[in-house]
Each structure stands twice: as structure tokens, then as C-alpha cells.
Amino acid sequence: MNKTIFKQLKKDKGNWLNETEVRQGWIKIIGDALNIPFQMERQRVDASYNRVIIEFKDKGLFNGSISSSAFKNAVFDRLKKYIPTRAKLESLDNEDYIE
């Protein structure tokens, strides 16, 4: 199944022009394949499911590198703010979330 998901993401990514389309494409493909009802755009979080929080960035900004400024922004700026906020709302520990 993972190969099927990857092939579909790779095939469709050429049609995505901005962050919104990247987010919609990923969520549709992964959600449909795994039958997961993602929550979208809640409390500034791009997408989430249970305690998994996903932050999307525009196409090509990561350049396959965890040292890119966009990747660092997603992890160290956005997620590090979203997780404590969500944890507090749900009366959970920050460590209960998956980034």
C-alpha cells in the first residue's frame, strides 16, 4: 500500500501549484488510501488526525532537506507552537503528539 500511495503522490504532485493544493492532494490521497478522516485547518493546524499534527509548506520549499529554512520553520516555529496549544486544550502532555 505504501508504494501505491507514493506513486499516486508522485504522479499528482506536478498538478499542485501552491501550499493549498499540496495540502489537499496529500490529504485526499493518504486519507482515501488509509480511510482516515483528517481534520483540516483547525486552530491554525494545517491537518491532524488523532495526535498527529501535519504542517504543510508550498511545493519545493523543503528541497528534500531537513536543513532548509522552510523545514525549520515548519518544525521549530509552527509545530513547536501548535503542539503545546493543542495539548493544553485536550489536557494531554506535549509528548503525546507526533510531529
SS3 45: strand
Residue 35 clears pLDDT 90, i.e. is over it: yes
Give the domain extent around 85.
Answer: 2-96
More confident residue, 1 or 34: 34
Q: pTM to 2 decimals?
A: 0.76
pLDDT averaged over the chain?
Answer: 88
For residue 83, count other CB atoms closer than 10 A to its CB.
21
Number of domains, the chain: 1
Residue 74 clears pLDDT 90, i.e. is over it: no
Residue 99 clears pLDDT 70, i.e. is over it: no
pLDDT given for residue 8 in this prediction = 94
Span 34-60, average pLDDT: 86
Q: Which residues contact 30 (CB under 8 A, 6 or more apart)?
A: 5, 36, 38
